[in-house]
Amino acid sequence: MLTGQQYKDSLKDGRRVYYEGALIEDLESVPELAVPLNAVAAGYDKYFSAEPGAVNPVTTAPTSPRELRDRIPVITEMDLLTNTTYQSLMTLSVAAARLEEHAPDFVPRIRDYVRRAREADIRITECITDAKGNRSLPPSRQDDPDAYVRVVERRADGVVIRGAKLHISAAAFGHDLMVMPTKSMKPGEEDYAIACAVPVNAPGVLITNTTYHPRGGDMRDHPVSAHESIPDSMVIFDDVFVPAERVFLDGQTAQAAVFAHSLGLWERLGGVSFMVIQADELVGLASLIAEANGTAKISHVREKIDEMMIHATLLRAGLEAALLHARATPEGYYYPDDMYTNVTKYQGAAQFNAMIRHLHDIAGGAVVTSPSMSDFDNPELRPYLEKYMSTGDGVSGEYRTRLFHAIRDLTADSYGGWHQVTNLQSGGGLFAQRLVTRKNYDLERARALALKAAGLGGA
């Protein structure tokens, strides 16, 4: 296993990482990149063991419903890159079993890669969403054939791929990029049915970075995003050679969706688990700022907080139902129930803006107009700020201002905007959750009950 410092040193490998147009040779030299880098390094140190043959315990799959439930607090506390590594290895493990019948030649490669990745203690990011070009056209009919990642050359020792993957969180901080088809493929689209593991420093790989990390100013004004940022990337594959032992699917269109479906099993648990915590966090902020504003007993404020509590409780109930009805893969790995997980994800995403609206309505305009915390450091200004930002009853001006900054940072600034979009899009948009619900809901039972109520059913 690697220590945090060994991890940092391992990234100085010639990778082509860009930030705001500049090639970055040392990730730690850029404050916006140093914060997530150090968070990943801290994760390495947290799980480090000097025992011979030790592997990170969180990269193993739960083999019982109890282990699945116990994994929840682990998932919500681990850094994002360790989480994507866990999801990637689980995806490959499940995909291997599903390829046994129709593409058995790839199974030994996959299992060998999973073993080696655990032993080397590397971090992996998932590259699934393509540029897609014209969304109304399939890969084979795009004006630019590179709109979806594809194989442009097949050689005896491997393949050459070209294209780009978008929305890739933490791509610059991992060691490998797990490339997989974004959707099912049809006959004639064999070149797009490619799954493989690409080293981040492979020739032809270029990675851009965009981040909500605060740009300058007083970091106290950004109490969350200053410490919990992660960049998202476009990963460009400019004729990248991938050795055969790192190729896990190549041309088998009927199996192209196996990897995306397998990934969904493990993404859902993390997504819903974070939403549950986020909903409780918003309730807490609403309660605290209402109290600080002196409005906690006003009826419409209490009703809004009640609605937020109901929303948070429904999300927690959905997670509990998903865990209670956990399913097992043929390999004996447990994952949360599809329908309950997707319904909960849908509820969390669809109602997120309404909960934010309640919070902003309760808090007031000072969410975006409060003085900077640096203003409180000015001896001339501080007495005035304390006087006019205080609401009495032991609520200091600084305390109330800190609450406003936390609300703005979480919900009304770059980090809040990032959450607004990612809550909708991560793990598939609202339409994806509706499809899974439609597939799993017991519609026949509902129809039978309706017929019975109308006096049209059987005895």
Q: Give residue 384's pLDDT.
A: 97
Among 155-164, 376-385, 421-430, name the one with the lowest average pLDDT.
421-430
Q: Is the confidence at residue 459, as pLDDT, over 70?
A: no
Whether residue 306 sits in one domain with residue 234: no
Report the distance separating Cα 376 and Cα 210, nearest Å.
31
Q: How many CB atoms lie within 10 A of CB 442?
A: 9
State pLDDT tens for residues 88-131: 998 998 899 889 889 999 999 999 999 999 999 999 999 999 99
Contact present, 95 and 110 (Cβ < 8 Å): yes
Quickly tell me which residue has 């937020």 as its tokens: 308
Residues 45 and 128 in one domain: yes
> Does 276 share its domain with 245?
no
171 against 328, higher pLDDT: 171
- For the record, the structure tokens of 269 come out as 């648990």
Distance CA 297, CA 338 (A): 40
- Arithmetic mean of pLDDT, 54-70: 89
Element (H, E) at 233: strand 232-243
State how far the Cα of 70 lies from the Cα of 53, in Å rounded to an integer: 24
Place of tokens 């009805």: 325
Q: Show the tokens assigned to 457.
A: 């059913």
- What does the pLDDT read at residue 263? 85
Q: Are residues 369 and 317 in the same domain?
A: yes
pLDDT of residue 271: 85
Q: For residue 429, what pLDDT is reported?
A: 79
Measured between alpha carbons, how far is 322 from 337 in angstroms, rounded to an integer?
Answer: 5
DSSP per residue, 251-302:
S-GGGTTHHHHHHHHHHHHHHHHHHHHHHHHHHHHHHHHHHHHT-TTSHHHH
Domain assignment present for residue 390? The answer is yes
Tabulate helix, strand, coil % of the chain (nearest 5): 55, 15, 30
Residue 225 domain-assigned (yes or no)? yes
Candidates 163, 151, 158, 154; CA nearest to 204 is: 163
For residues 319 and 341, give the distance between their C-alpha atoms in angstroms, rounded to a whole number.
7
299-357 confidence digits (pLDDT tens): 999 999 999 999 999 999 999 999 999 988 888 888 889 899 999 999 999 999 999 99
User: What pLDDT, in 10s, does the model give residues 17-48?
Assistant: 999 999 999 999 999 999 999 999 999 999 99
Q: Domain for residue 111, yes or no?
A: no
Structure tokens belonging to residue 435: 């499809």
Residues 271 and 315 sit within 8 Å (Cβ to Cβ):
no
Same domain, 266 and 357: yes
Residue 77 pLDDT: 86
**Alpha-carbon distance 375 to 300, whole Å?**
33
Residue 273's alpha-carbon distances to 155, 282, 320, in angstroms, are 43, 15, 10
* Domain harbouring 263, CATH code: 1.20.140.10
| Domain co-membership, 269 together with 148 | no
**Do 193 and 310 belong together in one domain?**
no
Q: Give the pLDDT confidence score for residue 321 in this predicted structure.
A: 96
Q: Higher-confidence residue: 64 or 457?
A: 64
CA–CA separation, 21 and 17 (whole Å): 10
Measured distance CA(456)–CA(450) in Å, rounded: 8
Query: Does 345 map to a domain?
Result: yes
Check if the beta carbon of residue 91 is closer than 8 Å to that of residue 262.
Answer: yes
Within a domain: residue 238?
A: yes
From 199, 223, 256, give the residue that closes a domain: 256
The band of 458, judged by pLDDT with boundaries at 50, 70 and 90, is: low
pLDDT for residue 425: 82
Q: What pLDDT score was predicted for residue 450?
A: 92
Tell me the pTM.
0.90
> Which of 225, 256, 287 is a domain's end point?
256
Whether the Cβ atoms of residue 243 and residue 164 lie closer than 8 Å to each other: no
Domain around 229: 4-54+123-256
DSSP 365: T
Average pLDDT, the chain: 93
Question: What is the reported pLDDT for 27?
Answer: 95
Q: How far apart are CA 323 and CA 433, in angstroms?
A: 17
Which amino acid appears at position 183 of this protein?
Answer: K
Do 232 and 135 fall into the same domain?
yes
Structure-block tokens of residue 117: 């990745």
- Give the distance, in angstroms, between the CA of residue 415 and the centroid of all CA atoms in the same chain: 14
5, 23, 76, 179 from 15: Cα distances, Å: 18, 10, 29, 17
Q: Are 434 and 343 in contact (CB under 8 A)?
A: no
Which of residues 256, 280, 300 is at a domain's end?
A: 256
Same domain (yes/no): 303, 385:
yes
Domain membership of residue 342 (yes or no) is yes
The CATH code of the domain that includes 29 is 2.40.110.10
Same domain, 432 and 354: yes
Q: State the pLDDT at residue 122.
A: 96
With respect to residue 456, please indicate whether it lies within any of the assigned structural domains: no
Number of domains in the chain: 2
Please tell me the distance from the alpha carbon of residue 394 to that of residue 397, in angstroms, as a whole number: 10
Same domain, 297 and 320: yes
Q: Quote the pLDDT of residue 104.
A: 93
295 and 247 housed in the same domain: no
